[in-house]
Amino acid sequence: MKISSAPPVAAPEDRAAIRTEDLTVVLGAAPVLRGVDLTVADGEAVALMGGNGSGKSTLLKALLGIVPVASGEARLFGADVTGARRHVPWSRVGYVPQRVGVGAGVPATALEVVASGLTGHRRLRPGAGARRVCLDALEQVGLADRARESVAIFSGGQQQRVLIARALVRQPRLLLLDEPLSGVDQVSKEAIARILAQLQAGGTTLLVVLHELGELAPLLDRAVVLRHGRIVHDGSPPLPAPGHDAPDHEHLHPHGDAPAAVPAAPDLHGKPQ
């Protein structure tokens, strides 16, 4: 009697938006990330924190294939983004880099900057449809009425909102943001917090590089703290450093290199309380 073999069992779909295993990045001769294991569930809002040079921005760039990975692997929605045949699923991923001179020397309008986010998009060609999508993205960040103005005359906070709109134009399920609150005024911080809260409520996964939780604290599910390229805390958002909320606090934080035991509840820079 011929015995038929059972059909192969399909591997379960990776439901994590982000998953890294032993991720290591070396730039020049210096290791910047060292064996990072991180999982971010679909729909989760996570802060990525740590002192200057801890590897926060490098981790985002490694996830997007912008910097090479020395070893380990990373996946976005199950797609390998670090291997020889890496594929970043840009149709589901948005990226907001650090704001550095948006529109400086280039008379680009807000609409044109947002439209640049559609470059390479297969489903939307230049025309009325693409323009409508770009205006909708600007509407999400409260700048649709200034679509035809040059971003060179915008405030830092308004420029940041334009960059967020550029990332939103593809309607991503995952949004990576590198210090979106850095160098912007209080009104813009509150506006950006509202935008991200609305996205999170709609199911968008957020991974946000921050020096301080600030206005984003209420929407964060957890925080990951890096020190010297290693995760030293992954859990509840850390407490502010002592005196951080004092009215005369100048937001100047030392980032010492002295080794310390992994804390149960570190401060905002991965330092033990």
180: CATH? 3.40.50.300
Return the higher-pLDDT residue of 211 and 18: 18
- Is residue 58, in this structure, part of any structural domain at all? yes
Residue 102 banded pLDDT, cuts 50, 70, 90: low
Q: What average pLDDT is seen over the chain? A: 83
pLDDT in tens, 135-180: 999 999 999 999 999 999 999 999 999 999 999 999 999 999 999 9
Q: How many domains does the chain have?
A: 1
Predicted structure pTM score? 0.81
CA 193 → CA 47, 48, 244, distances in Å?
13, 16, 20
pLDDT of residue 130: 86
- Is residue 136, in this structure, part of any structural domain at all? no
Return the higher-pLDDT residue of 122 and 192: 192
- Is residue 248, in this structure, part of any structural domain at all? no
- Is residue 31, in this structure, part of any structural domain at all? yes
The mean pLDDT value for 243-251 works out to: 47
Amino acid at 183: G
3-state secondary structure of 25: strand
- Is residue 264, in this structure, part of any structural domain at all? no
Distance (Å, whole) CA 88 – CA 175: 13
Distance (Å, whole) CA 162 – CA 49: 24
3-state secondary structure of 264: coil
Residue 99 banded pLDDT, cuts 50, 70, 90: confident
